[in-house]
Amino acid sequence: MTATPHRVVIVGAGFGGLETVYRLAGAPVSVTLVDRRNHHLFQPLLYQVATAALATSEIAWPIRYLLRGRPEVTTLLATVTGVDAEKRCVTLDGGDTLPYDTLVLATGARHAYFGHDEWEPFAPGLKTLEDATTLRRRILIAFEDAERESDPQRRAALLTFVIIGAGPTGVELAGTIAELAHDTLPPDFRNIDTHKARVVLIEAGSRVLAGFPDELSAYAQRSLESLGVEVAFGQPVTDCTADGVVYGDKRLEAKTIIWAAGVRASPAAEWLGAPADRAGRVSILPDLTVPGHPDVFAIGDTVTINGPDGSPIPGIAPAAKQQGRYVANLIKARLRGETLAPFIYKHAGSLAQIGRRLAVIDFGRVKLRGGLAWWVWGVAHIYFLIGLRNRLSVAMSWLWIYTRQQRGARLITQGRAKVSNYWP
Amino acid sequence: MTATPHRVVIVGAGFGGLETVYRLAGAPVSVTLVDRRNHHLFQPLLYQVATAALATSEIAWPIRYLLRGRPEVTTLLATVTGVDAEKRCVTLDGGDTLPYDTLVLATGARHAYFGHDEWEPFAPGLKTLEDATTLRRRILIAFEDAERESDPQRRAALLTFVIIGAGPTGVELAGTIAELAHDTLPPDFRNIDTHKARVVLIEAGSRVLAGFPDELSAYAQRSLESLGVEVAFGQPVTDCTADGVVYGDKRLEAKTIIWAAGVRASPAAEWLGAPADRAGRVSILPDLTVPGHPDVFAIGDTVTINGPDGSPIPGIAPAAKQQGRYVANLIKARLRGETLAPFIYKHAGSLAQIGRRLAVIDFGRVKLRGGLAWWVWGVAHIYFLIGLRNRLSVAMSWLWIYTRQQRGARLITQGRAKVSNYWP
Residue B60 to residue A266, Cβ atoms within 8 A:
no
DSSP A187: G
pLDDT at A76: 96
Q: Which of A68, A389, A424 sits opposite B408 (nearest CB)?
A: A389
Average pLDDT, chain B: 93
What does chain A come to in residues? 424
Residue A68 to residue B188, Cβ atoms within 8 A:
yes
CA-nearest residue to B143 within chain A is: A77
pLDDT at B2: 59
What percent of chain B shows pLDDT beyond 90?
A: 84
Q: Amino acid identity, residue B387? A: G
Q: Amino acid identity, residue A270? A: E
What do you get for the CA distance between the two ends of chain A, in Å?
66
Cα four-point dihedral sign B157, B160, B161, B166? negative
- Which listed residue (A72, A118, A130, A172) is catalytic? A172
Position with higher pLDDT, A412 vs B7: B7
Cα four-point dihedral sign B242, B247, B253, B254? negative
pTM of the full structure: 0.92
* A183 neighbors A405 (Cβ within 8 angstroms): yes
What's the rounded Cα separation, in Å, for the pair A406 and B37?
Answer: 19
Instruction: Answer yes or no: A172 catalytic.
Output: yes
Spell out which residues of chain B touch residue A387, defining contact as CB-CB under 8 Å: 406
CA A15 to each of CA A12, B371, B395, B408: distance values in angstroms, whole numbers, following the listed order: 9, 42, 30, 19
* A139 neighbors A180 (Cβ within 8 angstroms): yes
pLDDT at A415: 58
* A360 neighbors A224 (Cβ within 8 angstroms): no
Residue in B53, B14, B47 with CA at minimum distance from that of residue B394: B53
Residue in B205, B279, B197 with CA at minimum distance from that of residue B236: B205
Please report which residue ranges of A212-267 form alpha helices under DSSP H: 214-226
How far off is chain A from B286, nearest CA to CA, in Å?
27
Work out the angle between the directed axes of helices A371-384 and A388-404 (0-180°, nearest 10): 150
Mean pLDDT of B13-35: 97
Residue in B299, B366, B282, B397 with CA at minimum distance from that of residue B52: B397
Q: What angle do CA B278, B283, B284 make, to 5 degrees?
A: 160
Lowest mean per-residue pLDDT among A248-252, B247-251, B384-388? B384-388
Peptide bond into B62 cis (omega under 30): no
For A175-199, write each residue's pLDDT tens digit.
Answer: 999 999 999 999 999 999 999 999 9
* B264 neighbors B70 (Cβ within 8 angstroms): no
Spell out which residues of chain B touch residue A389, defining contact as CB-CB under 8 Å: 396-397, 400, 406, 408
CA-nearest residue to A267 within chain B is: B424
What's the rounded Cα separation, in Å, for the pair B369 and B387?
Answer: 28
The pLDDT of residue B417 is above 70: no
pLDDT at A420: 32
pLDDT at B336: 96
* B126 neighbors B132 (Cβ within 8 angstroms): yes
* A407 neighbors A53 (Cβ within 8 angstroms): yes
CA A146 to each of CA A151, A367, B67: distance values in angstroms, whole numbers, following the listed order: 9, 41, 18
Chain pair A-B, CB pairs under 8 angstroms: 171
CA A355 to each of CA A223, B121, B136: distance values in angstroms, whole numbers, following the listed order: 8, 44, 34
pLDDT below 70 — which residues of chain A? 1-2, 414-424
> What is this model's ipTM?
0.90
Chain A interface mutation, best of B38, B39, B73, B401, highest count of A Cβ atoms under 10 Å: B38
What's the rounded Cα separation, in Å, for the pair A51 and A260?
Answer: 14
What does chain B come to in residues? 424
Reduce the DSSP state of residue B421 to 3 states and report it.
coil
List for chain A the helix, strand, coil content (%; round to 5).
35, 25, 40
How far off is chain B from A337, nearest CA to CA, in Å?
30
pLDDT at A212: 94
C-alpha dihedral over B209, B214, B216, B220, to 10 degrees?
50
Residue A187 to residue B69, Cβ atoms within 8 A:
yes
The pLDDT of residue B94 is above 50: yes
Q: What angle do CA B322, B326, B332 make, to 5 degrees?
A: 150
How far off is chain B from A184, nearest CA to CA, in Å?
9
Residue B408 to residue A64, Cβ atoms within 8 A:
no
In DSSP terms, B293 is beta-bridged to: B290
In DSSP terms, B124 is beta-bridged to: none
Spell out which residues of chain B touch residue A397, defining contact as CB-CB under 8 Å: 389
Maximum separation of any 2 CA atoms in chain B, in Å: 80
**B402 band by pLDDT with thresholds 50, 70 and 90:** confident
In DSSP terms, A355 is beta-bridged to: A358
What do you get for the CA distance between the two ends of chain B, in Å?
66
CA B337 to each of CA A249, B39, B332: distance values in angstroms, whole numbers, following the listed order: 64, 35, 9
For B257-305, write each residue's pLDDT tens digit.
Answer: 999 998 899 999 999 999 999 999 999 999 999 999 999 999 999 999 9
- Which listed residue (B58, B172, B179, B203) is catalytic? B172
Contacts of B62 by beta carbon, 8 Å cutoff, 6+ apart: A188, A410, A411, B38, B39
